[in-house]
Chain A
Amino acid sequence: MKTFTYEKPATPEAAVKDIDTLGAKFIAGGTNLLDLMKLQVETPDKLVDISRLDLAKIEEREDGGLTIGALVPNSDLAADRRVVAKYEVLSRALLAGASGQLRNKASTGGNLLQRTRCYYFYDTAAACNKREPGSGCSAIGGFNRILAVLGTSEHCIATHPSDMAVAMRALDATIVTLKADGDRRRISIHDFYRLPGDTPQIENVLEAGELITHIELPAPIKGKQEYRKVRDRASYAFALVSVAAIVDVQDGVIASASLAFGGLGPMPWRNPAVEAALVGKAPSDAVFEAAATALLADAKGYGSNDFKIPLARRTLIATLRNVTGA
């Protein structure tokens, strides 16, 4: 690990001022950052410890939604009775991720910013445009069975590893930040992540020194909720494919559907065409097939991850059967 300087500011306002070099980073739970620092994939010259800032509360808002502090541990968010009662898909997604020990440490804000688990991103001897822009992509033509089939580019086929973020995308979350100049902004999760294109090292729209302070969930969406995750082990493994679904059936017709996907793309994936294929229709396998076709129309396999395309189709259909009762 490269050495670094360490600051522990007392307030979010002081924290954003402490990010005063290009190599400075916030640290909260640290479960991903320290792992990457040990491998020298990340080499910050300064760590700004935000772990004890007063950002660890979950509060109800007047509009019926929740405001979640960025430092709420994943365990606490999953166990919060309001989340369990009204946003079960979020609790389920959190509980499907990592281990008990990691969930106790990992923060809500940090979970959104997890780096990919692509083997070549972790291997500093391999080419990786995300880790070292311009060096190439060893995953294309390499071992890529865990990697993306949607939203990729010739420069990067990494997946975003978070389960929590998939549920938050289905729930239309908003990310609240504090910028170095003291301004706050609210960013829809739908606008938060970036496709890799030719700059896979830039994964989201945060500016240098911009701190996630809260995540807002709107009032609960009507419908049955499910988080279905397919992985190589029964527990403690990243998703090959996952589906977060909130589907409401009224009088035998799908009244609304909100669907997001993990394991398929460089960001928690959502495609309005999938929902459009469902809404207004009576639930049936033919309708579910059409939704899967909409999801996977542009899917592209890279050899060892080709299986994800039929796996995503089947996982989506199985999830839709369950949430609609069809």
Chain B
Amino acid sequence: MHFTINGQSYDAEPDIRTSVLDLCREHLGLTGSKKGCDHGQCGACTVLINGRRVNSCLTLAVMHQDDEITTIEGIGQPGNLHALQDAFVRHDGYQCGYCTPGQICSAVGMLDEVKKGWASHASGDLTDPKFDDAEISERMSGNLCRCAAYPNIVDAIREVGGAEPAGRTADEKDAAMEANARGELVA
């Protein structure tokens, strides 16, 4: 079988049952995409196929021989980070980092969906969706973070996507994080 991943050509002969995720990780050495649940529930395996975000664990490699697959390795590299990767680093949008490649691939696809004018469940008017924190949370609900870095993930995506900040100011957030670090629970 022949595949195009991150603009590069690959030939491989995986078992017919092989998912796009296992093709990348086990056959081609592209281990950036992560296997969390392997059932489309966690989003850690998210890649872009022809520019659209999908769960790579839930689709067969054999069905994507004519497609352009983009994994986190094709989004950016050390020294040449994608704007979202850079923002995740600066906003501390992770703790253990396992979900991060999926979060970033998903956010790349999601911001493109926003650009196309696609609405979401959080949109009041489907013909004129606003882009705010509620939209980011709804649109990213297919990516779980067991470390619960969600507030910082939203911060990173908001910065790159140009959404209006909601709720606390940056100073208030810093104060809340410091309070949390002291062991004081801040809602």
Give chain A's interface residues, CB within 8 Å of chain B.
1, 3-6, 27, 29-31, 34-35, 38, 47, 49, 51, 75, 78-79, 81, 84-85, 88, 91-92, 95-96, 98-102, 104-105, 234-236
Q: Which residues of B contact A92 (CB under 8 A)?
A: 121, 126
Closest B residue to A103 by CB, please name it.
Answer: B142
Query: A38–B39 contact, CB under 8 A?
Result: yes
Closest A residue to B142 by CB, please name it.
Answer: A99
Query: B40–A236 contact, CB under 8 A?
Result: no
Query: A79–B121 contact, CB under 8 A?
Result: no
Interface size class of chain B, counting residues whose CB lies under 8 Å from the partner chain: 35 or more
Query: B40–A31 contact, CB under 8 A?
Result: yes
Query: A101–B53 contact, CB under 8 A?
Result: yes
Query: A1–B17 contact, CB under 8 A?
Result: yes
Most buried by B among A1, A81, A85, A95: A95
Q: Which residues of B contact A27 (CB under 8 A)?
A: 60, 63
Closest A residue to B120 by CB, please name it.
Answer: A95
Closest chain B CB from A190 CB (angstroms): 27
Query: A99–B119 contact, CB under 8 A?
Result: no
Q: Is B139 an interface residue (CB 8 A)?
A: yes
Q: Is B75 an interface residue (CB 8 A)?
A: no
List 30 contacting pairs A-B, 8 Å CB cutoff, sorted by A.
Answer: A3-B15, A3-B16, A6-B16, A30-B63, A31-B40, A31-B59, A34-B58, A49-B63, A51-B63, A78-B119, A91-B126, A92-B121, A95-B120, A99-B141, A100-B106, A100-B109, A100-B113, A100-B120, A100-B141, A101-B40, A101-B46, A101-B53, A101-B106, A102-B142, A104-B53, A105-B54, A105-B55, A234-B138, A234-B141, A236-B141
Query: B38–A31 contact, CB under 8 A?
Result: no
Q: Which residues of A contact B140 (CB under 8 A)?
A: 100
4 nearest CB pairs, A to B: A99-B142, A235-B141, A236-B141, A79-B118
**Which B3-37 residues sit within 8 Å CB-CB of chain A?**
15-17, 19
Closest chain A CB from B112 CB (angstroms): 11
Q: Which residues of B contact A29 (CB under 8 A)?
A: 59
Q: Which residues of A contact B82 (CB under 8 A)?
A: none
Query: B142–A105 contact, CB under 8 A?
Result: no
Q: How far is the CA of A291 from the CA of B39 in the complex (A)?
A: 39
Q: How far is the CA of A1 from the CA of B17 in the complex (A)?
A: 7
Closest chain A CB from B145 CB (angstroms): 13
Q: Is B137 an interface residue (CB 8 A)?
A: yes
Query: A102–B55 contact, CB under 8 A?
Result: yes
**Which B141-179 residues sit within 8 Å CB-CB of chain A?**
141-143
Q: Is B91 an interface residue (CB 8 A)?
A: no
Q: Which residues of A contact B142 (CB under 8 A)?
A: 98-102, 236
